[in-house]
A and B are shown apart, each in its own frame.
Chain A
Amino acid sequence: MTAPRQRAAQPFEELVAEHGALVMRVCRALVGPVDAADAWSETFFSALQAYPRLPAGSNIRGWLVTIAHRKAIDQLRGAARRPEPARELPELAVAEPASADDDDELRAALDALPLKQRGAVIYRYLAELSYAEVGELLGSNATAARRSAADGIASLRKRLSKGTS
């Protein structure tokens, strides 16, 4: 290591390349295939805005997922009907391709989970965050996050076994 740096200094392009796919998976799971592209764009736009102030050595993946989490809550609550950047979002030239291989049954099962369990499952297994990070995101702690994730998976298993067996 050279002299200590106060701020993150990796080119933002590298963040998009490294974490873009994972953030998209999380967005699809959080808000569904139709709104996922907007959630993704808003997440990376907010991240780009804040990026020069991000302290060096931050966990970039956790930071991006936290932003995606907030954007998803905004969208789901419909609180601000359209958060600021969304109004500026250029239209996509083509509509998001029909998500033929999106798992509708899984999606429905996930939507049926209580919020904490749903968040814990998505952030632990799709975003691959640690239980401590998931706990922080959900305003609890590692132990509670672990329990929520386990409960969530158990409940998904129950729902999804019904149809198949």
Chain B
Amino acid sequence: MTTDKQIIDRLEQGFAGSSTAFDTDGRLHGRLAALAERQGLLDVSYCTIDSPLGQLLLVATGKGLVRVAFSREDHDSVLSRLARDISPRILRTPRRLDEPARQLEEYFAGKRRAFTVQVDLRLARGFRRSVLLRLRDIPYGKTQSYAAVAKAAGNASAVRAAASACSHNPLPLVVPCHRVVRSDGTLGEYLGGAGAKRTLLSMEAAD
């Protein structure tokens, strides 16, 4: 005799699909992302890549790379904040981040000195944004003081604000805030941690 319980169990198992794990090959997800992109509904795409500094989160809008995050920033909470600040229409779409991923890989392999990817600086406003724009002028292997950066950004007395702009840089590595150090030569804060900053500077100096 069949019981109700057996019928319910059979229902639950009967429609699980041909594999117990769902969409393991990502075909459905890929199709959804492609459709969303085609219809202009993919507001934010992201992927993660491995690097000598640990896993990096790369995030882009239709305008360009908008955020690079170290794992110590907690990728999930970074994405939650972007959902609030930009749009919750966020999907994992590595293909849209192929170019920045490739350039970062080349950079870590010592084969690239400057990034040419489109960036979207919408997460930085006002003076912070001016600071970030100046940072792109500091060449590979060189450093500048926070005071010099403040001056270049148009406000020589705003050294603290310049330091704060660097430590809140939404695009570390690509916008090279790691090349800004204190006037006394000590490193100063870094989103990826002091160790990461040291690693990057010695990597660039060795070249």
* Contact surface of A with B, Cβ cutoff 8 Å: 5, 7-13, 16, 20-21, 24-26, 28-29, 33, 37, 40-41, 44-45, 48-49, 51-52, 85, 88-90, 92-94, 97-103, 106-107, 121, 125-126, 153-154, 156-157, 160-161, 164-165
Contacts and interface: CB of A to CB of B under 8 A. Distances in A.
Contacts of B8: 125, 153
Contacts of A160: 2, 7, 10
B55 interface: no
A163 to B, nearest CB: 10
B36 interface: yes
Contact of B13 (A21, A94, A103): A103
Nearest to B84: A9
A122 to B, nearest CB: 8
The bracket for how many chain B residues form the interface is 35 or more
18 contacts: A8-B88, A10-B88, A11-B90, A12-B83, A13-B90, A26-B15, A40-B28, A41-B32, A85-B39, A88-B39, A101-B18, A106-B14, A125-B11, A125-B12, A126-B15, A153-B4, A157-B7, A165-B1
Nearest to B36: A48
Given A11-B80, A164-B2, A52 B18 contact: no
Interface of B: 1-4, 7-8, 10-18, 22-23, 27-29, 31-32, 34-36, 38-39, 41, 44, 46, 79-80, 82-84, 87-92
Given A41-B32, A48-B41, A12 B14 contact: no
